[in-house]
Amino acid sequence: MKTLHNAHHALHQGREEMFRGRMVPCHEVPARLDFVLTELQRRPLGALEAPALDDAELDAAIARVHSARYTAFLAGAWDEWVAMDPANALRDALPSVWPLGNRHAFRTDVLPQNFAARLGLFSFDSGSPLMAGTWAAARGGAACALAAVREVLGGARSAFALTRPPGHHAGPDFFGGYCFLNNAAIAAQALRDGGKQRVAVLDVDYHHGNGTQTIFYERADVLTVSIHGDPATEYPFFLGHADERGAGAGEGFNLNLPLPRGTNFTTWRAALGQALDAMAAFNADALVVPMGLDTFEGDPISGFTLRSNDYFAVGEALAGAGLPTVFTFEGGYAVDAVGTNAVNLLEGFERAA
């Protein structure tokens, strides 16, 4: 399996995130990706490549998933942040005011001139700092996702998009959960546009893939499945319940499998079985796996108890679906174990594929 590597990822390097009224060091750090690279060099799965960046093609693929006003916001965000106050050049941008758009109380149709207001309009948390290199890094990740799709459309059984920042919390016009562009959704849409008829997204990150769910919620051509910590107690809290089944034409094409904090691998594996059954019933012809490793027992911000060896079995089970598969790199904050866990999963897949 080829790995598409995002050479720009380290340009995104947040300092602190807001957590319960105080600033704490960022969990989503460049070293996460470096540990995966190091492990891939130790246990190679295939070629490691930086995607050839065709700006127009990449912009078109991003535009299939994200709104024009959102990507324009992201592209100019850093300059506008610094224009608000030259001293801002020394601090990351974080939102602190939100329009509660889905309650129809605040206006979200009028684009505010005030940049702090726009930061809030296009986000849902204050844990996802934006800085000078965020846009370049996020685009680099999306380029990896797109190049991984090209691999698979060209006949490869699988490809790994080593994306950073992660993507699965980012929606059509919002960032949050450390995510800015939804790499997995961009991959799923590119697979559709490349001729695949029914694409499944199976999200194994600890946190519900709210961005991906929202992007495809009213569509029957992309099945979204997520196994995650119960949003009653776990981030992102406001989406990810079992009764969210899709809407309109998409009714029945979203499956959430929330599990309580503390869930072990036996129970988690049974949920994966349910997810794979739903995928088989859907008759998918391609698979995207937003691969979070924050289900690991040592993860500092999550609550499942998977062990490093369990990831081999996860990969094997995913390979059992027999589908062309694109992996994107999502969460996983036990930094010194994330490389081992990621490569275990991918190696398990390769062995069984």
- Site for ligand SP5, rule CB under 6 A: 19, 24, 127, 166, 169, 177-179, 205, 207, 235, 292, 294, 301, 330-331
Neighbouring C-alpha atoms within 13 Å toward the C-beta of 234: 25
Q: Which residue number has the CB closest to Zn ion?
A: 331
Pick from 292, 303, 324, 339 the residue near Zn ion by CB under 5 A.
292
Measured from the CB of residue 48, what is the shortest distance to ligand SP5 in angstroms? 23
Of residues 135-154, those binding Zn ion (CB under 5 A): none
Question: Is residue 331 near Zn ion by the rule CB under 5 A?
Answer: yes
C-alpha 29/C-alpha 13 separation (Å) is 6
Nearer to Zn ion, 70 or 329 (CB): 329
Nearer to Zn ion, 171 or 331 (CB): 331
CA dihedral 70, 244, 223, 293 (to 10 degrees): 80
Nearer to Zn ion, 246 or 292 (CB): 292
State CA 224 to chain mean position distance. Answer: 13
318 binds, among ligand SP5, Zn ion, none (CB under 5 to 8 A by kind): none
Nearer to Zn ion, 20 or 104 (CB): 20
Q: What is the DSSP string of 57-119?
A: HHHHHHHTTS-HHHHHHHHHHHHHHHHH-GGGGGS-B-------GGGTSS--SSPPSSHHHHH
Pick from 9, 207, 208, 219 the residue near Zn ion by CB under 5 A.
207
Measured from the CB of residue 169, what is the shortest distance to ligand SP5 in angstroms? 6
Q: Which residue number has the CB closest to ligand SP5?
A: 331
Question: Is residue 14 near Zn ion by the rule CB under 5 A?
Answer: no
Measured from the CB of residue 336, what is the shortest distance to ligand SP5 in angstroms? 17
Question: Is residue 299 near Zn ion by the rule CB under 5 A?
Answer: no
Is residue 145 within 8 Å of residue 328, measured between CB atoms? yes
Neighbouring C-alpha atoms within 13 Å toward the C-beta of 42: 11
Give me the amino acid identity at 235: Y
Measured from the CB of residue 292, what is the shortest distance to Zn ion in angstroms? 4
Is residue 136 within 8 Å of residue 11, measured between CB atoms? yes
Q: Is 169 a catalytic residue?
A: yes
Pick from 125, 205, 244, 310 the residue near Zn ion by CB under 5 A.
205
Q: What are phi and psi of 244, to 5 degrees?
A: -90, 100
Catalytic residue among 5, 169, 207, 208: 169
Bridge partners for 170 per DSSP: none
C-alpha 139/C-alpha 154 separation (Å) is 22
Which spans of this chain sit near Zn ion (rule: CB under 5 A)?
Answer: 205-207, 292, 294, 331
Positions marked active-site: 169
